[in-house]
Structure 1
Amino acid sequence: EQVVMALGNADEANTNEEQGFADFTAQHTGLTYVPAGHPAEARLDTVPDNEPVILRGLGLNFFDYIAKLTVGRGGHFARDRAGELYYVPSGKEPKMIAGSRKGLPMHARGLNQKKDAESHRPIFFTAGNIDRFARENNGKVTYDFFFNLIEKEMNYKHYQNVISDFGLTWPFNAAEFLEALRHSANLNATAREWGVPDEYIMNWDRILNPLGESAEAVDYNEFMVKYLTWDINDALKGNVDAPYAGAFDMLRDVRPVIRHYLDAGYLDGDEYAQFLAKFNPFNSIISVGPPILRIEQMRALIKAGILTITGPGIKVVATEEGFVATDAFGHEWHAQNLVEARLHSISLAESINPLIANLRDRDIFSDQSYQKADGSTYTVGGIRMNKATLTVVNKADKEVAGLYIWGVPTEGWSWFTTFAPRPGVRDKNLVDAEHIAETIFE
């Protein structure tokens, strides 16, 4: 017998904080708490019209929630004569207050310009460069070296797009400038030497922290409208040509190289911990965001006064008056309704899916622990399998013949299984499915 398990996101146990909110809501009339989960399955009819609701999370799920609470309640979006999206309310929308730890949504994906299997061909971030570093460093590749290569690749693509903008003229030969960048140890320094103005320099501090140091003096929603407008205008230039969206989209094209780095045995426990803690959030905010339309809708709802974005560092507590949200700037919002606008991270240990929990408790499903140099250990949430055949590996480190696991439940043991497959580029999810079929029918 052969069993293929393609389970997608499964239910996870609430955190202690989340369970506290659920219990508090059950004990107090007039409160609504929507736990983390799929927006399509969320019971949002309990969120009253015109009342404040706090949404925790500004990721992809957040956009589905705000759509359900606006268009899903009879409102609609339209465009003015200049082409800008605006919102026409139905009068049934709640007053949404949304925030996250970073206080920023993911960047909009650039308007698609890539045909069929067209991809960026990396110059710096290649499997060959990673392998060469490993050979010269006892078979190990540090996270810092890995990320430096990615940063150089994105910087190069940024400058390539900047100087290709027909609206700009440069006092140098473009081909010679790009050749200088190819041989540069510091692309930003080289760009400055060639006379590229500061406004076109790839400033990662500004990208990841666009507020800079003057954050407390800023009206955050006014800032957010300007930030979203910048993001929209850049993304409209396309995922090949845009100075930023074009560079960010490159990360989608080099995923096979990232997986090579992860699967070649080059990382120890400390380096993998850095990858999970640093690169995964970076990758999420930079390269896996929503279509431009979703960012336009977010901006329109802010302008309509229906959506308020908190500053970074949102925290929520339950009081006798209801839920209270605060941000890093000391602002405060009160609501009787709280929605977890996000999914839980993948965790075999915390799964409450009956099938997964049963196989875990029988030691058929297992996860992987890693040890750091200081002796501490950590466990990644994904279910282990043979990465070549996708056959489940049990707690005794034995393959379970005829049992295959594919996709999302392996995240952490695998990398980045949560995205929709891309045709024509030997996409990981499609290749894995092919490996399962080949193993079954060999």
Structure 2
Amino acid sequence: MKQRTVHTVGIIGVGPRGLSVLERIVENARDRVDTPIVINLFEPWNFGSGDVWRTDQSPDLIMNIVSSQITAFADDSVQISGPVRYGPSLYEWSVKLAAGDISGTYGAEVIAEAADVHENTYCRRSFYGHYLEWAYRELVRNRPATIDIREHRCKVVSVLDTDSGGQLVTGDGGQAVEVDELVLATGHGAVGLSAAEQRLRSFADGVGGLFQPPANPADVDLDRIAPGQRILVRGLGLSFFDYMSLLTAGRGGRYERHDGTLRYLPSGKEPHIVCGSRRGVPLHGRADNEKGDRRYEPKVLTEAHIDKLRSNAGPDGALDFRRDCWPLVAKEVETVYYTRLVEIREGKEAADEFSTLYTFLPWSCDSEGVVLRKFDVPEEQYWDWSRVAQPWTGTDIASSRSWTEFLMSYLAADVFEARQGNISSAVKSALDVLRDIRNEMRYVMKNGGIEGSSYQNDVEGWFNSLHAFLSLGPPWSRIEELMALIDCGVVEVAGPRFSVEFDEAEGVFVGRSAVPDDVHRSTVLIDARLPKVDLARTSNSILVHLKEQQQVKHFTVRTASAGEYITGGVAVTERPFRVIRSDGSIHAKRYVFGVPTEGVNWVTETGIRPHVNSITVGDSDSIARAVLGLSA
């Protein structure tokens, strides 16, 4: 690194990813950099927790990952060039907090939650926010004397290159700071309304109704929805469960268990919620964790195998997802499922023999059936991806009554499997594989690893939705709560292929599904889906500015027909993710990390998981070392 009087760094956004970059800068600089470093942090919310994990949000909002599988620190499993300094996971921090070994002032409610946390607890999001803010304070307190950290509680609105080679960062309060190196870790940003959403908004405004576009439910003013009011909710993903909780338990309702069945006792302040989605059923409930902080290690979807496929794929190495990658993903899932089935029926020795015979057979070949028959796996238990993706049949949607009967049976079965655990249940152990192999999936996807038309049609158009449905769901307790809310009449789940339009003559939104006569009317529509990453529509102030200055561009993926598919993500280089300008040039000292790069990278919103070689930590370490001028 070139010796200077002071080396200045800026980090825009100090939620989990900005915090990880800060942690990596501090640890890489500790014994390796003698030059004084000034790190300027720009964050309008609290440092460490940012917006999504802020500590003042509703206690009814919970995480969908257990406390032992989330951390803010690197560990020895991560393949990085920088040093590792131990830091506790959320679970380990909770134990210390409950024992009085964590410094800081915390309210009685936070201490009480810490005392109740075990390694498989799904904590409140606000509780995780307290952990992140503690981690930030610890970094500041334990930083080496050569590092000065300066906080700027503001939203950045512009960045301009200076004649001296620096970057002038300006906040919304007018404050301006010049830095040498700049990292953008802005996380989920709001996006402007699409043309279709604008029409829905205009209609709602015209009839005195309400249209709520995709947003973080914690940020939405739900007081506008009156008790008893019928509302339509589009989407059955994680945001739906947040809205469900905020509009029920968040309004004073209570759950009680009677003879093993969960019941909901309304407060009378709830609206009547009619919800639905194209698939018709909510995301799979997350199973009880039996793995601790371990993960399933893939057998066929390995980096070596992926590299071999790339070497045979032509000059650019781009793969076709359905042809090259999906068979490997499917094979991993099905092998775990069948191995567990055999173990349940015949014991571990037979399961080991089955795995040896089955694992490396080509996916969907005749020999797989031979092995399944050898171990007497009943045909009715064969894994069927089409049935997994669409669990209902034409008979199930023949009438509202048959749909409700199917739905409640389906939800009860999902809860039953989830309560067995992610090892004991054959189904849930298989689905958990999709979480465990994300490192390898990211390796497949990164930087245009999938050919453009295949990425558009197979990844974005099909697999991402399937992956979310099967592996990104809420704790199973949320599914059980949904059943209780259906039972007491507070929630009504419309049939599959749910769509919503507006009727100008009636002055209402109208929701319809594939179930005959399944029609619902309301003046309120909530779109319970996360905003899609889209540089074209972003309303993030700094990305808007950089786009206007032609300092960022869309990431595009080359197609086999010599065309390009334009993703919604920001174009960056491979690690350390330097920004690519509109003219194709690379800004050597500006980096974008995390969610805004979705498309270049894959499933960028997931956190740091300990002891599984977290790619997020590897990414942040590469940025930190580039910022410090250290080799990777």
Identity of aligned residues (%): 30
State whether residues 570 and 598 of structure 2, in contact with CA within 8 Å, keep that contact through their aligned partners in structure 1.
yes
Q: After superposition, where does 1:270-419 map in structure 2 within 5 Å? A: 270-273=453-456, 274-319=458-503, 320-321=505-506, 322-330=508-516, 331-373=518-560, 377-419=564-606
With over 3 angstroms needed to count, the CA separation of the structure-2 counterparts of 1:189 and 1:336, relative to structure 1, is: farther
- Give the aligned partner of residue 115 of structure 1: 292
User: How far does residue 111 in structure 1 lie from its aligned partner after superposition?
Assistant: 1.0
Residue of structure 2 in register with 1:141 after alignment: 319
Instruction: Find out whether 1:96 has 2:273 as its counterpart.
Output: yes
1:385-440 deviation line (CA, Å, top 9, x unaligned): 22311222211222223322221111112111012221222222222222222222
Cα distance per residue 1:177-227 (max 9 Å; x no partner) = 222212433435531353211232212222111112323325222211111
Q: 1:393 to 1:136 in 2, by over 3 A?
A: closer
Of 310-319 and 87-96, deviating more is 310-319
Q: Which moved more, 1:277-286 or 1:192-201?
A: 192-201
Q: Contact 2:578–2:590 at 8 Å: present in 1 too? A: yes
Task: Give the corresponding residue for 1:179.
Answer: 356
Contact 2:289–2:421, Cα closer than 8 Å, also in 1: yes
Q: Which amino acid aligns with 2:598?
A: E
Residues 1:391 and 1:374: Cα distance change in structure 2 (over 3 Å): closer
Partner of 1:127: 303
Aligned to 2:137: none
User: What residue is the counterpart of 1:192 in the other structure?
Assistant: 373
Q: Which residue of 2 aligns with 1:151?
A: 330
**Cα distance in 2 between the residues matched to 1:408 and 1:265:** 16
Work out whether 1:422 is the aligned partner of 2:605.
Answer: no
Task: Determine the C-alpha separation between the residues in 1 that align with 2:448 and 2:301.
Answer: 18
3-state secondary structure, aligned to 1:157:
helix
The equivalent residue for 1:42 is 220
Cα distance in 2 for residues equivalent to 1:140 and 1:343: 29
Q: Distance in 1 between matches of 2:346 and 2:374?
A: 17
What corresponds to 2:247 in structure 1? Answer: 69
Contact 2:397 2:495 in 1 (8 A): no
Larger Rg: 2
Q: 2:422 aligns with which of 216, 219, 239?
A: 239
SS of the residue 2:223 aligns to: coil
SS of residue paired to 2:530? coil
Q: Quote how far apart the aligned CAs of 1:140 are.
A: 4.9
Match of 2:83 in 1: none
SS at match of 1:396: coil
Structure 2 Cα separation of the partners of residues 340 and 324 of structure 1: 14
Alpha-carbon offset, residue 229 of structure 1: 1.0
Deviation at 1:277, TM superposition (A): 1.7
Residue by residue over 1:255-312, the C-alpha shift from the partner in whole angstroms, topping out at 9 and shown as x without a partner, is: 1211222238653222322222222112111111111111111111111111111111
Kept in 1, the 8 Å contact 2:286–2:418? The answer is: yes
Q: TM-score, normalising length from structure 2?
A: 0.66
Instruction: Note the C-alpha offset of 1:85.
Output: 2.2
**Residue in 2 aligned with 1:201?**
382
Partner Cα separation in structure 1 for residue 350 and residue 206 of structure 2 = 70
1:52 lines up with 2:236 in the alignment: no
User: Structure 1 length normalisation: TM-score?
Assistant: 0.93
The AA in structure 1 aligned to 2:217 is P
Deviates more, 1:147-156 or 1:198-207: 198-207
**Cα offset, 1:376, TM superposition:** 5.7
Equivalences, count: 437
Please identify, of 216-225 and 185-194, the stretch whose mean Cα deviation from structure 2 is larger. Answer: 185-194
AA aligned to 1:285 is F
Contact 1:188 1:201 in 2 (8 A): no
Q: How far apart are the structure 2 equivalents of 1:247 and 1:393? A: 39
Q: 1:173 to 1:389 in 2, by over 3 A?
A: closer
What amino acid is the match of 1:125? L
Helix, strand or coil at the partner of 1:244: helix
Q: Does 1:3 align with 2:182?
A: yes
The amino acid of 1:251's aligned partner reads L
Q: Is the 8 A contact 1:114 1:240 kept in 2?
A: yes
Q: Is the 8 A contact 1:34 1:44 kept in 2?
A: no
Distance 1:17 1:271, change over 3 A: closer
Unaligned segments of structure 2, at least 5 residues: 1-178
Q: Is 1:221 matched up with 2:397?
A: no
Moved more, 172-181 or 335-344: 172-181
The Cα RMSD (Å) is: 2.1
Which 5+ residue runs of structure 1 have no aligned equivalent?
none
Report how far residue 381 of structure 1 moved: 0.5
Counterpart residue identity of residue 124, structure 1: V
In the alignment, which residue of structure 1 is the partner of 2:439?
256
